[in-house]
Amino acid sequence: MTTSAHDPAPGGGADSAADTDLDAGTPLGVAQCVSALWREALNADEVGLDDDFFDLGGNSISAVRLVPMLSERLGVDVTMSVIFDHPTPRELGKKLHTLGTGVPGKSEGA
């Protein structure tokens, strides 16, 4: 199954990120978590796994709001530069998982 740039993440909709039941221990799970948090931070109805943060209206101010949301949800230190360098939920999810940060409460060098 492939996800187009406009498909919402599984479990999408109006649910808040805190209410979303995700397996954050996988790259896809982290990407789905990122997508849910972006919906909340950008006040967007849908965020697909391949949607670009900036194309959705994201900017440095919304990135500043998003950093603590991601850090708290995933239990890692996320920086703005990571968001800028990996501007889709899929890319960011892969990056965070690669860094060993895909499991809540686990934090390795970011």
Q: Could you report the per-residue pLDDT of 12-26, keeping only the tens digit for each?
A: 443 444 434 345 678
Compute the mean pLDDT over every residue in the chain, rounded to the nearest whole number: 77
**CA 92 – CA 30 distance, rounded (Å):** 8
Q: Residue 73: what are its φ and ψ, rounded to 5°? A: -65, -40
pLDDT recorded at residue 44: 95
pLDDT tens-digit map of 63-88: 999 999 998 888 788 899 999 999 99
- % of the chain with per-residue pLDDT over 70: 68
Closest CA to 35 of 105, 25, 24: 24
DSSP-derived 3-state class of residue 91: helix
Domains and CATH numbers, the chain: 22-98 (1.10.1200.10)
pLDDT recorded at residue 6: 38
Better-predicted residue by pLDDT, 106 or 89: 89
